[in-house]
Amino acid sequence: MGRSKAQISVSLDGYMAGPNQGEDNPLGEGGMGLHEWAVKLSSWRGEHHQEGGEGDENPSNAVIDAAQENVGAVVMGRNMFGPIRGEWGGEDWRGWWGEDPPFHTPVFVLTHHPRESFEMEGGTTFHFVTDGIESAMAQAREAAGDADVSIGGGASALQQAIAAGELDQILVNQVPILLGAGERLFDGLPPGDGFELLEVVRGPEALHLTYAIAR
């Protein structure tokens, strides 16, 4: 069985999304600034079917390549999947990523409202899990086999995974901007010494901090 892991970008004041998120502004006000460093990388651009980008000359590229290796399934919150709230109804929302999402694995979306699974191009199938983070992780581990399970955002999904002891390792990409408000990564978690710093890599536009999380 592989590891469970996550990687997320945060501001200096700890936010992983800005305020007032919505369909026209999925990362909230100022939130795109958290990811400008990543969009320049060849690893990110390759995942999104774009050419070029900074390679080995930028140490951030190797960090993101390593984080994306050996992923056999993904778990994410409903807020990461889309802006729809409440019952799905007749809404035909199929994610932010177009017809060929960058996951290429089964994706398990946490939600309170049932929805049928559907398959996209490139090997991505979205499944909707209504009975909590433990169930989503169990299904993702079964789908991943010996590969890793990646846990995506939003903040609530990561907080649930950490609180439930379901996350082994997290890469925090700290970006030198201030958002002032929005969704903080570690809000609502109990205090304690549950994190071990494993690695620090300094990129030109982000500091990459890898932590192991005690179960």
For residue 34, what are the domain limits?
4-82+100-213
Q: Is residue 124 a part of any domain in this protein?
A: yes
Element containing residue 60 per DSSP (H, E): helix 59-68
In this structure, what CATH number is given to the domain that contains residue 56? 3.40.430.10
Q: Is residue 47 a part of any domain in this protein?
A: yes
Q: Is residue 89 a part of any domain in this protein?
A: no
- Tally of structural domains, the chain: 1
Q: Is residue 191 a part of any domain in this protein?
A: yes
Per-residue pLDDT of the chain (215 residues; tens, 9 = 90+): 789 999 999 999 999 999 988 878 888 899 999 999 988 888 878 776 777 777 778 999 999 889 989 999 999 999 899 887 888 876 688 988 889 999 999 999 999 999 999 999 999 999 999 999 999 999 999 999 999 999 998 899 999 999 999 999 999 999 999 999 999 999 988 887 689 999 999 999 999 999 999 87
Q: Is residue 95 a part of any domain in this protein?
A: no
Q: Is residue 184 a part of any domain in this protein?
A: yes
Q: Is residue 56 a part of any domain in this protein?
A: yes
Q: Is residue 93 a part of any domain in this protein?
A: no
Total Cβ atoms within 10 A of residue 119: 10
Burial level of 83, CB count in 10 A (0-12/13-18/19+)? middle
